[in-house]
Amino acid sequence: MSDELEIYLYGSEILRTRCDPVDSFDDSLRELYEGMVRAMNREEGIGLAAPQVGRALRLLIARDERDGWPRVLPLVNPELIFLSRERGGLEEGCLSLPGITAEVQRPVRVKVRYQDLEGKEQELEDDGLLARIIQHEHDHLEGILFVDHLSLIKRKLLSKKLKALQQRAREV
């Protein structure tokens, strides 16, 4: 379907853009959210940020399975207001970097303040997978990718794959 959102790949300029705050909480925001949920589910992801579908806006979505009822949370204008000093390593991947995974060290617990689709302020705190997804997706809003967190040596090992992706991004 032509109105489905496409995922932008590593090498696309928008993935290196610092995104703008969302200031109108209207139908177009809900449509963007719903389009992102479809794109994420289609690609079997667990999180997605607006720049990955070509929109430089501070909106991310994250799969939330905390209470055993999977749903997809929209976080608008998220701010990480607490990051634990305790860090942990976890294997990460990214829909914009298909075929690449690597262990990334990040704070274990986060607290995030954000707005929902109606513009109402919300807060959540987590120390599980959701905390990880939110940090990964929040990075996207700053133009940061998970491979940026890797050591030079690890990135060197991935450089062939990264170059191939860049080439693909140029061809799309």
Residues in 92-111 at the binding interface with Zn ion, rule: CB under 5 A = 94
Residue of 6, 91, 137, 171 marked active site: 137
CB of 136 to Zn ion, least distance (A): 5
Number of residue whose CB is nearest Zn ion: 94
By CB under 5 A, how many residues form the interface with Zn ion? 1
CB of 143 to Zn ion, least distance (A): 12
Count CB neighbours of 88 within 10 A.
Answer: 15
Is position 150 an interface residue for Zn ion (rule: CB under 5 A)? no
For every residue of 78-136, DSSP letters joined together read EEEEEE-S-EEEEEE--TTSTT--EEEEEES-EEEEEE-TT--EEEEEESSHHHHHHHH
Q: For residue 56, what are the β-bridge partners?
A: none
Between 105 and 120, name the residue whose CB sits nearer to Zn ion. Answer: 105
With CB under 5 A as the contact rule, which of the stretches 25-33, 62-70, 87-95, 117-125 interacts with Zn ion? 87-95
Degrees, nearest 5: CA angle 54-95-75: 65
Between 94 and 165, name the residue whose CB sits nearer to Zn ion. Answer: 94
- Respond yes or no: is residue 125 known to be catalytic: no
Q: What is the CA radius of gyration of the chain?
A: 16
Between 9 and 124, name the residue whose CB sits nearer to Zn ion. Answer: 9
CB of 121 to Zn ion, least distance (A): 25
Select from 125, 143, 141 the least CA-distant residue to 81: 125
Q: For residue 57, what are the β-bridge partners?
A: 20
Measured CA to CA, the distance from residue 21 to residue 95 in angstroms comes to 23
Between 61 and 124, name the residue whose CB sits nearer to Zn ion. Answer: 61
What is the set of active-site residues?
A: 137
* Chain residues in the site for Zn ion (CB under 5 A): 94
